[in-house]
Amino acid sequence: MALPGCQSTYLLKAKKYRLNVRFKFSRECLIGKVLEIGPGVVPLENKGDTVDFLDYASAEVIASHFNVNADKVRVDLVGSMDNIPAEDDKYDSVGASHVLEHLEDPIQGLLECLRVTKVGGNLFLVVPNCLTSEFDYNRQLFSVRHFIDEHRDPELLRINKIKHVHEFVDKTQIPSSVSRSKHLARVAEFINSDRRIHFHAYGPRLLINILNYSAKSARKGVSIVDSYYFPMANEMILSCKITSKHDYISEDYLLDPQRVRNSILCLEHFIKESEGSFAMP
């Protein structure tokens, strides 16, 4: 994806300093008794009193996947974001970085996060930005209705899973127009393994709309305390407070010009801190 001057520079800087930005927000949000979902080998920074790490497999399996020693990985709970093995209202804070896009049913994943988080607690989400993600920028963006229909209909979810895998392989792996046999082989590989692809791509409006629907369904409220998004950012970050009643969040929340400007200033802070100075090209 070729980008001119300023956009290209910000894209590269946003990628270089993405962990600085991500950890700044996570340290402020993840407090008390914390659950982090899908930390892999790069867990979020937090200020929790205690932390449980939940991943899809044992530490040995995760370590093998990332080609690191098992002592570099910690797994306290085996499960997934859409099926959290914990009782209701157990945690003060729940965090999930780059997990939502791997779920076939992201609404179920958010419902589970809301279920195990106390009212008054925090929810921290990091999701790839479809405009810049190498796996998502050329993908179809669905309406929130698509997600609701899949959530309500297990058979539709099963059928669409296969369609989403075909699209993922076509757009990011092996185009069907180039080699149909290789394309189908890669599709079968993903369907028959436990590897979770990016089932859906997310933009700022879609992310907010799914959050609105999930909060309403969970009969808990979600209010956004802080956020990070601008078009060239690698990822979207939401720091949320869980309340007893949900007030609708505008789908244009992340697109508000002042919030976009604040996000750019946040990135520029880390650039200047590390490089001494930074001027928009």
CATH at residue 66:
3.40.50.150
Rounded Cα distance between 211 and 214, Å, is 5
When pLDDT is averaged across residues 106-134 and rounded to a whole number, the result is 97
Domain contains 93: yes
pLDDT digits (tens, 9 = 90+) for 8-62: 777 888 889 999 999 999 999 999 999 999 999 999 999 999 999 999 999 999 9
Tell me: pLDDT of 6 over 80. no
The pLDDT of residue 186 is 86
Domain contains 129: yes
Tell me: pLDDT of 180 over 60. yes
The pLDDT of residue 98 is 97
The pLDDT of residue 279 is 57
When pLDDT is averaged across residues 236-253 and rounded to a whole number, the result is 97
Backbone phi, psi, residue 177, to 5°: -70, -20
- Contact by Cβ (8 Å): 227, 253: yes
The pLDDT of residue 5 is 47
Query: How confident is the prediction for the chain on average, in pLDDT?
Result: 92
pTM: 0.93
Tell me: pLDDT of 147 over 70. yes
The pLDDT of residue 12 is 86
pLDDT digits (tens, 9 = 90+) for 199-230: 999 999 999 999 999 999 999 999 999 999 99
- Sorted by sequence, the CB contacts under 8 Å of residue 140 that are 6+ apart come out as 167, 201
Tell me: pLDDT of 176 over 80. no
Domain contains 69: yes
Residue whose C-alpha is closest to residue 130's, from 200, 194, 37: 200
Q: Which amino acid is at 265?
A: L
Give the count of domains, the chain. Answer: 1
- The gap between the terminal CA atoms of the chain, to the nearest Å, is 19
Residue whose C-alpha is closest to residue 36's, from 248, 5, 15, 23: 23
Rounded Cα distance between 163 and 140, Å, is 12
What are the angstrom distances between the C-alpha of 151 and each of 109, 136, 183, 204, 205?
Answer: 10, 21, 28, 20, 19
Tell me: pLDDT of 188 over 80. yes
When pLDDT is averaged across residues 248-276 and rounded to a whole number, the result is 94
SS3 category, 275: helix
Domain contains 65: yes
The pLDDT of residue 221 is 95
When pLDDT is averaged across residues 167-179 and rounded to a whole number, the result is 83
Burial state string for 62-91 with b = 16 or more CB within 10 A and e = fewer than 16: bbebeeeeeeebbbeeebbbbebebeebbb
Give the rounded percent of residues in the chain with a pLDDT score beyond 90: 77
What are the angstrom distances between the C-alpha of 156 and each of 1, 81, 159, 198, 280?
Answer: 33, 20, 5, 18, 47
The pLDDT of residue 4 is 44
Host domain of residue 91 = 5-137+199-272
Tell me: pLDDT of 269 over 60. yes
When pLDDT is averaged across residues 127-146 and rounded to a whole number, the result is 92
- Contact by Cβ (8 Å): 38, 98: yes
The pLDDT of residue 101 is 96
Domain contains 115: yes
